[in-house]
Amino acid sequence: MKRILVVLMFVVMSLNALALDLWVKGGVLQGTRSKDMEESGYNAGLELSQGFLGFVDLGAGIAYNGNLKYDNTSVQENVGYDLVPIYVFAKFNIIPVAVKPYVVARLGKNFVVNDDTNYNGKSEAEGVAYGAVGVGVEFLNSFQGELLYSISEVKNNPSGKDNLEMVSLTLGYNFW
């Protein structure tokens, strides 16, 4: 038991020594074409990053994009599902001073979850690729605001579009 506690303590101290940042994020999202999405959705996420050279952060994250409901199409009714992207990202700090503006790029894979679409014999939607670019600002060393444009590729998408384009506004808090 003592060995497990020592190893656990070593792991926690190592993470702190690496200066990893753990960001918890949440916000709202909207489709880029006003007629595509019936209402605004929400997103929640978790990101782990490591700073390099003082102006670049590299990391990985997972998000949950919920309440994605689309107008009824000619083929389907009640088109709606949620997406869970898992991604890696690079964040470039433009001016690393007290208020730190940055540019971010993300690339990964998304998964379709909570699919409540009436398929009428069609195959279900399947998440494929995820990409995003955006701008943001860090302030007070623990807070972050971000505006992000993302494209999620979905095969067999019942809304009739292979690429879902969304804009999101998120706020984040750094726990470490």
Query: What are the pLDDT digits (tens) for 46-71?
Result: 999 988 887 899 999 999 988 766 65
Task: Say how far apart CA 130 and CA 73 lie, in whole Å.
Answer: 24
One pLDDT digit (tens) per residue for the chain, 176 residues: 677 767 766 666 665 556 788 899 999 988 766 445 566 788 999 999 988 887 899 999 999 988 766 655 555 555 667 888 999 999 998 887 778 899 999 999 988 887 666 556 555 777 789 999 999 999 888 899 999 999 888 777 666 667 788 899 999 999 77
Furthest C-alpha separation in the chain: 64
- Give backbone dihedrals phi and psi of 123, rounded to 5 degrees, phi first: -75, 155
Q: What is the pLDDT at residue 145?
A: 94
Task: Say how far apart CA 11 and CA 6 lie, in whole Å.
Answer: 9
Lookup: tokens for 133: 């670019």
Which residue has tokens 């984040």?
Answer: 172
Question: What's the predicted TM-score (pTM) here?
Answer: 0.79
Q: What is the pLDDT at residue 156?
A: 72
Task: Say how far apart CA 29 and CA 65 lie, in whole Å.
Answer: 8
Of 24, 22, 25, 26, the closest CA to residue 49 belongs to 22
Instruction: Give pLDDT tens digits for 121-143.
Output: 555 777 789 999 999 999 888 89
**CATH second-level architecture of 23-174?**
Beta Barrel (2.40)
